[in-house]
Amino acid sequence: MSALFSPYTLKGVTLRNRIAMSPMTMYRSVDGKANDFHVMLLGSRAAGGFGLVFPEQIAILPEGRTSVGCGGLYDDAQIESWKRCTDLIKDMGAVPAIQLGHTGRKGSEVKPWEGGQQLPPDHPDGWQVVGPSALPYGGKYQYPVHALTREEIKAIHRAYADAARRAVDAGFEWLELHFAHGYLGASFFSPLANQRSDEYGGSLEGRARYHLEAIDAVRAVWPERFPLTMRLGSDDLNERGVQFDESIIAVGWMKEHGLDLADLSLGINTDEMRDKPFDELGFMLARAERLRREVGMPVATSWNLGIPALAERIVRDQLVDVVMLGRPALSNPHWPVWAARELEHDDPFALVPEDWAWWLRNFRAHPSCIGWPDPAPVDVDAALRATA
């Protein structure tokens, strides 16, 4: 049996396979709510065979969004809209997951295809961005950053817990905390953004305190039977930033606080990264395997894993437990079905709903005409000549 298509159980949740649709910001929400677009996007990927399906990062506060078009669970009025999505995801055989986060000093943005610039605090669609210290990211993120007080940090942790409670009511069964990509958690972890002199800065213990307190706040309300995971900015690729050796230590602490799986990514707390790897296949895999081995914790990762043979190999060789796919999930809503065929799965159509599967298994037509790639391409010219 294919390793990629083997079931995976974490806590009380079993995924039908090891393939997850990764969170991706889509800028389609109104007042933080899901709508028909999200039902379509998430439901089609669940129907297409993904085992775990995330919407975009879901903000724990209005000012934690990337833009005014981003999703949130900071208000009870948002619960029902996301429940529409989770109900459909479950009906299609997948597990609904949520990623909670706060964009910190990278918030208050315009949609990327409309320019992507950061808006000033006094703009109708902007707000005052926050961080561990009063240090703007730089580049397009040019506006002053408010350094959070201790009391404000505590309020943010309460917001994590409140959002986690709403996530339960909305039907999510897997929760990830977003501590990567230069957002608020990542900026607390990195010396590039965190120059505090209190208990939330300085040493590794201080810079990881934000994470541990957030995990504690969520673990107190999130059901024990559901996984609690974390996307960590595990390396800044900058000599002044987070080093991966530090992340190994910090994830060990997070495990002690109730974390169940580490989803590894980069910190992206600066554009000044050495040897940028973004066009390299599986560039996070060595880090993932090392953390899995040294910390004894399940791991997931993403970044250029959309080749079926590669995804299969990294699960089979126990480099990762779950494969996170972003752009491949956008470009092909049936990526798991395609991958199953490429990997010679006994019944690729077992991944789609049974009413679809019956028609696809029992087609009464030319086998190349059902939208299913044929390894032996049809000679179209010859076929047309035969009908002339």
Catalytic machinery residues = 183
- Using an 8 Å Cβ cutoff, are 95 and 9 in contact? no
- Using an 8 Å Cβ cutoff, are 288 and 320 in contact? yes
The angle subtended at Cα 171 by Cα 109 and Cα 162, nearest 5°, is: 60
**What's the rounded Cα separation, in Å, for the pair 153 and 83?**
29
Render 50-67 in DSSP notation, one character per residue. -SEE--SEEESSGGGSSS
**What's the rounded Cα separation, in Å, for the pair 186 and 269?**
7
Q: Is the sign of the CA dihedral 67, 68, 71, 76 positive or negative?
A: positive
**Cα first-last separation, the chain:** 46
Cβ burial 137-154 (10 Å sphere, 16+ → b, else e): beeebebebeebeeeebe
